[in-house]
Amino acid sequence: MSVTSPTPTLIADIAAEIGYADIAAAPEEYTAMIAGMLRVYDALDAVPEDDTRPGRAPVEYRIPSGTEDPHHAWEVRTSVRGAEVGPLAGVRLGVKDSILVAGVPMRNGSAELSGFVPDEDATVVTRALAAGAEIVGKTTNEYFCMSGGSHTASSGVVHNPHRMGWSAGGSSSGSAVALVTGDADMTLGADQAGSIRMPASWSGVVGLKPTYGLVPYTGIATLDASFDHVGPMTRTVTDNARLLSVIAGPDGFDPRQRDVVVGDYLAQLDEGVTGLRIGLLREGFGTEHAEAAVDRTVRAAAEGLRGAGAVVEEVSVPLHALAPALWTAIAIEGMAETVLRNQGFGFGRLDRYPVDMMQRLLDHRGDADAHPANVRLFTLVGAYVDRQAGRLHYAKAINRARVLRAAYDEALSRFDVLVTPTTPQTARPLPDPAHGAGAAIGASIEMSANTTPFNVTHHPALSVPCGTVDGLPVGVQLIGKHFDEATLFRVGRALERV
């Protein structure tokens, strides 16, 4: 896409907006210089494109009917077959619709990307196919992944697999539901605030947010590079470890990956928990919106670990109660920057940019009227804070996240795993549109108090089903040391047994 030469009037308008009053009054000289500088973009297009990640021709797909997919777990169904042999041979894999699959439509929950078909795969897709998986569809997710509920996707709400009319959790809503309905054996989700763990908790499956950078985020729609994670969602802990074993490790593109340590996630899976120290994180219980029955169910699960030989004690990290505020300060500016100004991606990183997707978002960046209430709120407050304080609060939050990380690290120096409820409550009814923006926004964020902290601090966190309350699943969240997913799986497997 070439950049056309500007007129003096346009340069005068831009200069006035920036505050260059002298140029705004006499823009002709700068207009001529700018026109000369724009020739660089013609030279840019003369450089051959990087073709190291070949795509595939469009593949056949279909939009499932309401009869076939009553919970709306799927955006499209398809079949992209991987290698004939490998550790995932025969596995039917669902892929969250924020993750690029070449030749298959992707909308990331939005109206802006409706009809977009990417021309390359995300790294996690390439690795899963090489391991033998068959991609059987793209699963429904929230609008730009900006909700913990399951009610904002432009294609419609996603229903809880255990109770129609109730939320499945988000934003990886369909990736959780497709496991419970049996339409997929494993799925991929993405997690910026709990978007793997929250639907895992409310739908009753296993979901892992890996250590930051362990799994490459290349080829996935971002919200802010400081807290982007992608990971496995499965029905069992063993399958979660299997899928992580395939997708983990550096890919040479993702700048989030630094000093990555890939473990053997299956070797110690069934060794039990005798001697392991489990810390019940005091501030993770009795939080706002908490249900006492959920807290009791998670504590009972911890007692089961004690019965299996673990040492279980309470531990306090007072900053845990303030951690969601740090996440929010980062997210307000980060999400507004990504959604409003940067065509869905950040800048200043040696990343692999999906230019085709960015072009699509540029072409439709004026289509903001379709944004749901929660997206409108975040982008509005982001724009307002930017006018008031620039990026100061984002910078403060990133810096202070190191203090929060150190507080959890200190607790984890005394315990192998920390425990909280994944979500403070079981699934809630889908919000009634008649109740207005406030109800819709509340239903997007009320479940995230225990998940957002670990997106900021980058610790791995695993949600495992541990019981039910009134017929709805309860998830226990296990938090571990950086790159120690193997211990989380070991404890999660013990929970499954007890």
Distance of CA 192 to the CA centre of its chain: 4
Catalytically annotated residue among 110, 155, 171, 226: 171
Q: Vertex 327, ends 322 and 333: CA angle to 5°? A: 135
Catalytically annotated residue among 98, 155, 167, 195: 195
Residue in the structure block whose two tokens are 């593109």: 253
Query: Does 171 participate in catalysis according to the annotation?
Result: yes
Q: Return d(Cα 474, Cα 301) in angstroms, integer.
A: 10
**Pick from 231, 298, 266: which is nearest to 475 by CA?**
298
Catalytically annotated residue among 96, 138, 209, 481: 96
- In order of 19, 70, 163, 199, 355, the CA distances from 67 in angstroms are 58, 6, 16, 23, 36
Burial readout 31-54 (b: 16 or more C-beta within 10 A, e: otherwise): beebeeeeeeeeeeeeeeeeeebe
Q: Return d(Cα 58, Cα 61) in angstroms, integer.
A: 9
Query: Does 195 participate in catalysis according to the annotation?
Result: yes
Which segments within 409-457 are labelled E, that is strand?
417-421
Which segments within 142-205 are labelled E, that is strand?
159-160, 163-167, 186-191
Query: Does 173 participate in catalysis according to the annotation?
Result: no
Tokens of 193: 């605030």
Residues designated as active site: 96, 171, 195
